[in-house]
Amino acid sequence: MDFSLEFTPDLLAVFLTLFVLEVVLGVDNVIFISILAAKLPVEQQARARNLGLTLAMLMRVGLVFAAGWVISLKTDLFELFGMGFSGRDLILIAGGLFLVYKAVTEIHHKLEGDEEHTTGAGTATFGAVIAQILVLDIVFSLDSVITAVGMTENMIVIITVVVLSFGIMLFAARYIFSFVNKHPTVKMLALSFLLLIGVFLIADGFGFKIDKALIYVPMAFAIFVEALNLAAAARKRKRAGEKPAEPVHLHQQYVDDTGTALEPAARD
């Protein structure tokens, strides 16, 4: 690996490209962390966000120093039905399946209304949340480091990009956390993104290379449309002289004194 630092147009281009990549992956991390941290008591949520992002940064830097080992993960370990699988492939498939599972489970809880009684804020343990964050940190970090090492062997550039991008994410995390959890539609959109990324990781693990632009461009468009919807709703309330409306809450179960869920007709 190269520890020299000589400013050239090519090196600057690599730096900017890696920086954008790290910020995009960092946003993915923050969204996932925000959804998991919301399950913790309020006093632990900020700690979980900051610790999750810090561990992700340290893991990514550590993998950069172990670049030789990381690259070796691309060597096939075995074949199945004529298809070779490397250590990287297995990690991506496992991580993708985990991400799909978490996204589908969260969407189910929010639409079925059992989140408040089974996985609501304050019921998850701090250690369990951090463990889940670490699983996805490993997957995102592995893909990121392999991409970075493939673009440059300059360790100073890679480490600088990682530290700077995570500094931005640490600053923005609480704002992203607050915004995502304040607007249920945005939270559902974020879960859909995580589901999409999980499918992308599984496909990549099975050797189906999908251009990242096909993932992130539709995501950016969806964010743009949702931003227009939120802005239009805010202008409508302002013209009507109304106070900010309470966000629409997703379905919530009602229970009787015995803890049995009531049907809609029984609630009236």
Local structure of 8: helix, strand or coil: coil
Separation between Cα atoms, residue 57 and residue 168, nearest integer Å: 12
Instruction: Tell me what pLDDT residue 255 has.
Output: 46
Q: pTM for this one?
A: 0.68
Which residues are CB-neighbours of 122 under 8 A, at least 6 positions away?
39, 40, 41
Q: In terms of DSSP H, where are the helices of the chain?
A: 9-37, 42-65, 67-72, 87-112, 115-118, 126-151, 155-182, 184-205, 213-239, 264-267
Q: What is the mean pLDDT of residues 200-204?
A: 86
| Residues 6+ positions from 158 with CB-CB distance below 8 Å | 18, 64, 145, 148, 149, 152
Helix (H, G, I), strand (E, B) or coil at 84: strand
Contact 70, 149 (CB under 8 A): yes
The angle subtended at Cα 115 by Cα 109 and Cα 118, nearest 5°, is: 115
Q: Is the pLDDT of residue 26 over 70?
A: yes
227-253: average pLDDT: 70
**Residue 252, pLDDT score:** 46
- The string of pLDDT tens digits covering residues 94-152 is 888 888 888 888 888 777 765 444 444 555 788 888 888 888 777 777 777 777 776 77
Question: How many other C-beta atoms are found inside a 10 Å radius of the C-beta of residue 196?
Answer: 18
pLDDT for 116: 46
Helices 126-151 and 42-65: crossing angle in degrees, nearest 10, is 30
